[in-house]
């Protein structure tokens, strides 16, 4: 119920952890992208979502990158393709610890 504020009136805090990752989570387990989300929310405080997406573009992009990791997968894929190409051309051999023959160490 939007206008009652039931949880605030009763003084309990049952499901605010669902609203944002930055709210206190159960068992005190912080989210992975907690910092990014907090930065974006602090930057876009009071602006509203549309303006916050537009004006806090850097923080928003970092937050989305942390959540979806699209840039990471793209980058890793590029590197792996280049590596396979170079192996086929014979210009590059992976070192031993990348072929699974590393001696065990911590």
Partner 1 sequence: MAAPKVKQDMAPPGGYGPIDYKRHLPRRGLSGYSLFALGIGSLLLGYYSLVKWNRERRRLLIEELEARIALMPLLQAESDRRTLRLLRENLEEEAKIMRDVPGWKVGESRFHTDRWVPPTVEELYYLRPPAELEREKFGLQNYV
Based on CB atoms, which residue is closest to partner 1, 6 or 32?
32
For residue 81, the SS3 value is helix
DSSP 103: P
Find all residues with CB under 8 Å of 1, minimum gap 6, and list them. Answer: none
Query: Do residues 75 and 81 make contact, with C-beta atoms less than 8 angstroms apart?
Result: no
* Chain contacts with partner 1 (rule: CB under 8 A): 32, 35-36, 39, 58-59, 61-62, 65-66, 69, 71-73, 75-76, 79-80, 82-83, 86, 92, 94-95, 97-100, 106
Based on CB atoms, which residue is closest to partner 1, 16 or 82?
82
Based on CB atoms, which residue is closest to partner 1, 51 or 75?
75
């Amino acid at each position: 119920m939007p206008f009652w504020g039931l949880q605030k009136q009763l003084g309990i805090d049952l499901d605010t952890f669902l609203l944002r990752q930055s709210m206190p989570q159960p068992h005190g387990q912080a989210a992975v992208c907690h910092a990014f989300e907090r930065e974006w929310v602090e930057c876009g405080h009071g602006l509203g979502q549309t303006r916050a997406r537009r004006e806090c573009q850097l923080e928003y992009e970092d937050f989305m990158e942390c959540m979806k990791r699209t840039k990471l997968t793209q980058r890793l894929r590029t590197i792996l393709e280049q590596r396979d190409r170079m192996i086929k051309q014979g210009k590059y051999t992976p070192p031993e610890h990348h072929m699974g023959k590393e001696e065990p160490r911590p």
